[in-house]
Amino acid sequence: MVAGRGAELLRSATSSRRATFLELFFDLAFVVALTRVSQRFADLGSDTGWTLVAGLGRTLLLFLALWLIWSHTAWITSRYEPERSIIQAVVIGTMFAALVMAVTLPRAMEERALPFTVAYLMVMVVRPLVIAAALRGHPRRLVPFRLAAWAAVAAPLWLVGALGPDQLRLPLWAAALAVDYLAWALGWPLPWLGAAAVGRWRIAGEHLAERYQQMFLIALGESISIIAIVFSGMAYSAERAAAFVVAFATSALLWRIYFHRAGLLLTEALGRAGMPGQLGATSQRTHALIVFSVLVTAVGYELVIDDPFGPPRPTWLLFVVGGPVLFLAARVRLEYEIFGRLPWSRMIGLVVLLLVTPALVRWPPMVGLSVVAGVLALVALLDAWRSRRRPLEDSASPIGRETPGSHGPEA
């Protein structure tokens, strides 16, 4: 009887696998957040040396903090019933905290560090305690308790970093974020309780896959928004118009390459997995790379549209070429997760981009963006050639094939 208390909060087999309107509403806060991340990257366009490296590190850290918040929320609505009032309240509260993080993000490493930190810790520490209380006597209440305990361990690092000297903020926050990510990877182990291995979690795999796909589309939409805003805010020229067209084509190619086969079958793969938590956790890391790569690529659009045939700036290649390189690498990883193979078309694209990058240092930014678009078009054509006259294959993921009972009880 005790185990039944709070059980109504867990997803049932008959629960809808589609994302709710509340979750789509929640994503609006991350549209704002991703815009701020892109802007921080764009501000680094003229930096060099250690200043550039430090700026990239700070922005990456802020992105990873936001991604952790979004990922945890996606798992919550895949594990618990999103139509329950308490879960809806949790999502709304998380949305407000994410919005606070978004509006403070441009100066989160400077004078707005404290409100950014407080909003982050409210989600990481308070939210799991609310869920644990709502679960009442259910055995799975121990999982959110674990989350809160580990977040409390990292909290002093976040707070000291926010309140202490500016030069200590980056290393302290990096250490805190490492604790938060390590805790997830280990299953938030506690003395006498052990770990709650994410791979054994009972989640709605199809729902989680849809949430990853939606976040990718949000990032892609952010890149389209940057193209439009930058081009409309500049004096018209044929060169900028050409850069506008090539940038849009590049985003369209990213969409095509992601959803060709593996991206399209992500929902099926997670739905079929005996242990969807295993595949979901791996895919979470892959989609962090994919979303990040799209944001970096979008910064390249902004830099090129601003001055398509300006003097060569080697640091711009970090965005113009580095973003697509990271995207193809992550897409190779996704292919393995869905089919257990390495796609030769994306491997070819990856190698070509790496080989031509040294030569692009001497050419204007527009040349670099055009080469990237050409390589991505080659990858898309190779995909189409391989798939012609072949039926859509089923997913054959090597991850999460086992059933929960073969590795202990579900968490």
- pTM higher than 0.75: yes
Task: Quote the pLDDT of residue 410.
Answer: 54
Q: Is the pLDDT of residue 406 over 60?
A: no
- For the chain, domain boundaries: 2-196, 205-387
CATH code for the domain defined by 205-387: 1.20.1410
Phi and psi at 368, nearest 5°, equal: -60, -45
**pLDDT score recorded for residue 404:** 53
Q: How many helices (H) and strands (E) does the chain have?
A: 15, 0
Q: Which range, of 191-200, 227-236, 270-279, 364-373, averages the lowest pLDDT?
A: 191-200
**Residue of 262, 332, 326 whose CA lies nearest to 294:** 326
Phi-psi region of 192 (alpha: psi -120 to 50; beta: other; left: phi over 0): left
> What is the model's pLDDT at position 292?
96
Indicate the pLDDT class of residue 248, thresholds 50, 70 and 90.
very high
Higher pLDDT, 386 or 2: 386
Assess whether pLDDT exceeds 60 at residue 408: no
Give first-to-last CA distance, the chain, whole Å. 19
Give the pLDDT confidence score for residue 374 in this predicted structure.
97
35 pLDDT more than 80:
yes
268-301 pLDDT tens trace? 888 888 888 889 999 999 999 999 999 999 999 9
Cα separation, 399 vs 406, whole angstroms: 14
Strand, coil or helix: 130: helix
Q: Over 80: is that where the pLDDT of 375 sits?
A: yes
Q: For residues 70 and 23, what is the distance between their CA atoms, to the nearest angstrom? A: 10
Look up residue 370 and give its amino acid. S
Q: Are 57 and 170 in contact (CB under 8 A)?
A: yes
CA distance 226 to 350: 25
Provide mean pLDDT across the span 246-267: 93
Give the integer Cα–Cα distance in Å for 17 and 78: 8
Lowest mean pLDDT among 60-74, 256-270, 346-360: 256-270
Choose among 273, 262, 213: nearest CA to 398: 273
Q: How far apart are CA 215 and CA 377, in angstroms?
A: 23
Q: Mean of the per-residue pLDDT values for the chain? A: 89
Q: HSE of 127 in the Cβ direction (CA atoms, 13 Å)? A: 26
pLDDT in tens, 182-201: 999 999 999 888 888 787 78
